[in-house]
Amino acid sequence: MMGGHLTLHLRLVKACNADCSYCSSWQENPHTRMSPEDFRRAIRFIRDVVVPVMGCGGPRSTVSLQYVGGEILLVPKAQLREMVYIGREEMTHAFGNVIDGVQSNLIGSERRVLELDTLFAGRVGTSVDGRGTQRTIKGNPDAYRKIVERSMEAISRRRRKRPGAVFVVDGQGTSNASHEVATADRLGYPLVLRAIFQGGRDIANGTQDQLVSAFTEAFDLWAMKARVPVEPFTHLLRKRLGADEVYGSVCPFQRNCAENSINLEPDGSLFTCFEMADSGHFGFGNALEERFDRDVWETLRARRDHVDAKCRSCPWFDACQGGCMNEAVHDTGSLYGRPDLCAVWTALFRRIDALFEEFGKERVRSWLSTCIN
């Protein structure tokens, strides 16, 4: 009997209706969209050919189907509904528990946004940029913010809570990370701070020092005070507190992604995750061409056992796991390298240890349990 957790990123379309400075998903074939028939074929191939090799599946396992873009609202609504139902139906044959969710920029009519919310029963996540110019419509960040705010309000009226959001910490984002944490806390939604990877475009990355400052300042603002979870802080704190509950796979702190994560592109190509897909790193086949390149996949899986020497002796390895494979490829050229974000994670672990020193683990644990998800 197998088990475990699989995250399946499903990218049904590459086109988008916004124009974000850091996005790398735009580059090739923006108009390719997967049809429901192809979607069913692709899902069956993944389920019947790839999943058994990965070693997940079975009655005690969970699959999390995560619909990502491009922008999902550009898929006609009847087709989207059909595909979401196909995903649920096909995966119940291999997994004991099937869950799904969607990531959308929420740029659409209120009605369309609420339909999306209904289809996923509230499991909708979005992205924010409260005061920068990262996210725009035709170059206009205020136009972007206005529509997103209207959509967030509509969801919040219905669900009595706002959708969780991602804030991308690129060069500009380093000045705004703390502001986004404060806003999420004030409005009561979970936030993910995501350090930018290279992707396909010339992105203005923060310097290492800027990233370290942005993450540590945001952590100081959040720790022992906030009432919402902010990633990666919550995860790292829990791990350092010795939590052994299962989260599924948590990026970017895993080295066994090949065994628990797949990304399906609109043309059927298979990657470990959408970050690897955007970077064009180590595709391992094509579900529509019924091709699974097991040698490449084995190479990806080997990161589980090939640990960088510094990570092996790192006191925080248990929580960090050596960071993200995709970033390691960008920074070192090797699947088994240590990503440059190590500097940020190290600084955060020092902050966490100082927090334990100051407050004691019990008080930290008790405050953390009050963070509302």
User: Is residue 4 at the binding interface for ligand SF4, with CB under 6 A as the rule?
Assistant: no
Q: Interface with ligand SF4 by CB under 6 A: which range of 35-43, 146-154, 323-331, 365-373?
A: 323-331
Q: Rounded to an integer, what is the distance from CA 99 to the centroid of its chain?
A: 15
Residue 262 CB, shortest distance to ligand SF4, in Å, is 9
Backbone angles phi, psi at 23, to 5 degrees: -70, 140
User: Is residue 325 at the binding interface for ligand SF4, with CB under 6 A as the rule?
Assistant: yes
Q: Residue 134 or 261: which CB sits closer to ligand SF4?
A: 261
Number of residues counted as binding ligand SF4 (CB under 6 A): 24
Distances from the Cα of 32 to the Cα of 71, 268, 291, 330, angstroms: 12, 10, 19, 26
The residue type at 226: A
41 burial (CB, 10 Å; 0-12 / 13-18 / 19+) is middle
Residue 338 CB, shortest distance to ligand SF4, in Å, is 5
User: Is residue 356 at the binding interface for ligand SF4, with CB under 6 A as the rule?
Assistant: no
8 A C-beta contact, residue 292 and residue 53: yes
Q: Rounded to an integer, what is the distance from CA 172 to the centroid of its chain?
A: 20
Q: Interface with ligand SF4 by CB under 6 A: which range of 22-30, 71-79, 246-254, 350-358?
A: 246-254
User: Using CB under 6 A as the criterion, what x/- string covers residues 248-267 for binding ligand SF4?
Assistant: ---xx-x--x---x------
User: Is residue 279 at the binding interface for ligand SF4, with CB under 6 A as the rule?
Assistant: no
User: Exposure pattern of 101-115 as b/e (b: 16+ CB <10 Å)?
Assistant: bbbbbbbbeeeebbb
Residue 277 CB, shortest distance to ligand SF4, in Å, is 9
Which of 65, 71, 67, 178 is closest to 132 using CA atoms?
Answer: 178
Backbone angles phi, psi at 34, to 5 degrees: -85, 140
Determine the length of the chain.
373
Question: Of 293-322, which residues contact ligand SF4 (CB under 6 A)?
Answer: 310-311, 314, 316-317, 320, 322
Residue 29 CB, shortest distance to ligand SF4, in Å, is 21
166 burial (CB, 10 Å; 0-12 / 13-18 / 19+) is middle
Candidate list 102, 152, 196, 276; residue touching ligand SF4; CB under 6 A: 276
Q: Residue 39 or 274: which CB sits closer to ligand SF4?
A: 274
Binding stretches for ligand SF4 (CB under 6 A): 251-252, 254, 257, 261, 272-273, 275-276, 310-311, 314, 316-317, 320, 322-326, 338, 342, 345-346
